[in-house]
C-alpha cells in the first residue's frame, strides 16, 4: 500500500504518523511545494519519502489524500491530475464537502468513481507539520460523504485507511454533513474570532484581556486557529453557515430581550436547558 499525502500539515501529518506506526508494510510519501516542510516530515516520522514533483510522488499511489486548505483544492487538483494513477483512490480532509465536490467535478469534468470526500472530526488550534501527532484521530469520528458515483471499493479503502489511524468512520450525505458542521464547528469558530476581534477593538483591550478568566480562555481557544483556513471554510460552506448564523442571531436577540426586561425566569429556563443538554452529552465532548 502506497499513500500519497498532498500537503502535509496538522491533519495529513498526523495521519501519516498514525499510519506508519500502525502498518509497517505501508509507505507514506509527501507531495508539496516546500522542500523544508517535506524534509521535516521525514525527520518527524510522518513520511517515508517526499518529492516536489507530482509525477514522482504519485507514481504507483494507491490512495491520495488532499491535505490542503479548501481554497487551494481546485488548483492542487489541476496540478496533480495529469499524474494520478488511473486506479488511485482520492480523498480529502476538508471541513466542508459541497465546495470540494464542486471543485473536483470542475477539474475532472465529472466526479471520479474513485473520489471519496472525507472529513476527520479532529484537530487543534495549532497548524503545520510540527503540530502533528499520531493519536490525533484515536477514538475520533471521520465522516465520509460518498457521491452517487463513488464506488464501494473506493469507500471501503478510505474507511480502512482511517480505521488504521484509530478513527471511527461514519457516512452521511454531503448536505447533512455541511449543515451539521456549520452549527457545531464553523459557527463556534466565527463566534470565537468575532468576540476576540470585538474586544481587541476596545480602547482598554489590554486591561480587559488581562482580567479574562477561564471561561474566556476556553471559549476563545479556537480563535488561535489558522485564519486563512477558516476564511476558506466559512466561504466554502457559506449557505449552511448563514443559516446557522441566522438561527443564532435569533436566539441572541431573545437573550438580549430577557436581559433588557430583567426576565430572570426566561434566562434561567434557557440556561437550564443548555446545561441539561451539555451535561447529557459531556462524555462526547471530553472523551
pLDDT beyond 90 at 105: yes
Last residue of a domain, one of 126, 144, 172: 172
Q: Could you tell me which of 149, 66, 156 has the C-alpha nearest to residue 110?
A: 149
Q: Give the residue with greater pLDDT, 229 vs 211.
A: 229
Residues 9 and 149 in one domain: yes
> Which grid cell is 264?
430572570
Q: What is the mean pLDDT of residues 26-53?
A: 97
Grade residue 125 by pLDDT with cuts at 50, 70 and 90: confident
pLDDT of residue 184: 95
pLDDT of residue 287: 60
pLDDT beyond 80 at 251: yes
pLDDT of residue 126: 87
Residues 191 and 273 in one domain: yes
Residues 116 and 30 in one domain: yes
* The dihedral sign for the CA sequence 67, 70, 71, 75: positive
Q: Residue 282: which CATH number?
A: 1.10.3660.10
pLDDT of residue 257: 98
β-bridge pairing 118-120 and 141-144? antiparallel
Q: What is the mean pLDDT of residues 261-281?
A: 96
Q: Give the residue with greater pLDDT, 124 vs 10.
A: 10
Q: Which residues of 178-197 are buried (b: 16+ CB within 10 A; e: fewer)?
A: bbebbbebbbebbbbbeebe
Say if CB 41 and CB 15 are below 8 A apart.
Answer: no
Last residue of a domain, one of 155, 172, 189: 172
Residues 21 and 156 in one domain: yes
User: What's the CA gap between 25 and 232, in Å, rounded?
Assistant: 36
User: What's the CA gap between 261 and 110, in Å, rounded?
Assistant: 56
> Which grid cell is 274?
443548555
Residues 282 and 192 in one domain: yes
User: What's the CA gap between 157 and 67, in Å, rounded?
Assistant: 17
Place of cell 487551494: 72
Q: How many domains does the chain have?
A: 2
Q: Report residue 139: phi and psi, to 5°.
A: 80, 0
pLDDT beyond 90 at 212: no
Task: Note down the domain range covering 229.
Answer: 176-286
5 bridge partner residues: 30, 65
Residues 29 and 113 in one domain: yes
pLDDT of residue 140: 94
User: What's the CA gap between 213 and 215, in Å, rounded?
Assistant: 6
User: What's the CA gap between 4 and 50, in Å, rounded?
Assistant: 9
DSSP 8-state assignment for residue 72: G
User: What's the CA gap between 60 and 4, in Å, rounded?
Assistant: 9
pLDDT beyond 80 at 284: no
Residues 261 and 145 in one domain: no
Residues 227 and 215 in one domain: yes
Would the pTM count as exceeding 0.85? yes
Distances (CA, A) of 247 to 182, 225, 241: 11, 24, 10
Considering the chain, what percentage of its residues have pLDDT values greater than 70? 99
pLDDT of residue 211: 82
pLDDT beyond 70 at 172: yes
Residues 163 and 64 in one domain: yes
Residues 116 and 212 in one domain: no
Last residue of a domain, one of 139, 172, 205: 172
Q: What is the mean pLDDT of residues 65-86?
A: 97
Residues 124 and 206 in one domain: no
Q: Residue 83: which CATH number?
A: 3.40.50.720
Residues 75 and 206 in one domain: no
Q: What is the mean pLDDT of residues 92-120?
A: 98
Q: What is the pLDDT of residues 155-171, one digit of tens each?
A: 999 999 999 999 999 99
> How many CB atoms neighbour CB 21 within 10 A?
14
pLDDT beyond 80 at 220: yes
Considering the chain, what percentage of its residues have pLDDT values greater than 90? 88
Amino acid at each position: 500500500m502506497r499513500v500519497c499525502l498532498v500537503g502535509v500539515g496538522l491533519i495529513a501529518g498526523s495521519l501519516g504518523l498514525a499510519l506508519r506506526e500502525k502498518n509497517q508494510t505501508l509507505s507514506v510519501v509527501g507531495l508539496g511545494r516546500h522542500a523544508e516542510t517535506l524534509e521535516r516530515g521525514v525527520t518527524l516520522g510522518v513520511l517515508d519519502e517526499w518529492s516536489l514533483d507530482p509525477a514522482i510522488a504519485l507514481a504507483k499511489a494507491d490512495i491520495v489524500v488532499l491535505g490542503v486548505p479548501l481554497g487551494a483544492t481546485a488548483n492542487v487538483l489541476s496540478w496533480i491530475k495529469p499524474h494520478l494513477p488511473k486506479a488511485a483512490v482520492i480523498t480529502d480532509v476538508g471541513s466542508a464537502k459541497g465546495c470540494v465536490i464542486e471543485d473536483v467535478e470542475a477539474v475532472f469534468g465529472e466526479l471520479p468513481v474513485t473520489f471519496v470526500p472525507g472529513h476527520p472530526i479532529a484537530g487543534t488550534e495549532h497548524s503545520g507539520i510540527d503540530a502533528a501527532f499520531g493519536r490525533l484521530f484515536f477514538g475520533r469520528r471521520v465522516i465520509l460523504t460518498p457521491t452517487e458515483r463513488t464506488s464501494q471499493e473506493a469507500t471501503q479503502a478510505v474507511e480502512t485507511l482511517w480505521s488504521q489511524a484509530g478513527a471511527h468512520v461514519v457516512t452521511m450525505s454531503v448536505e447533512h454533513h455541511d449543515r451539521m458542521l456549520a452549527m457545531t464547528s464553523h459557527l463556534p469558530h466565527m463566534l470565537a474570532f468575532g468576540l476576540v476581534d470585538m474586544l481587541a477593538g476596545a480602547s482598554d483591550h489590554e486591561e480587559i484581556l488581562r482580567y479574562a478568566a477561564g471561561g474566556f480562555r476556553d471559549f476563545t481557544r479556537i480563535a488561535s486557529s489558522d485564519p486563512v483556513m477558516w476564511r476558506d471554510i466559512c466561504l466554502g460552506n457559506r449557505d449552511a453557515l448563514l443559516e446557522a448564523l441566522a438561527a443564532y442571531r435569533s436566539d441572541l436577540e431573545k437573550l438580549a430581550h430577557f436581559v433588557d426586561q430583567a426576565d430572570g425566569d426566561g434566562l434561567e429556563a434557557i440556561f437550564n436547558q443548555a446545561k441539561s443538554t451539555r451535561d447529557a452529552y459531556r462524555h462526547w465532548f471530553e472523551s
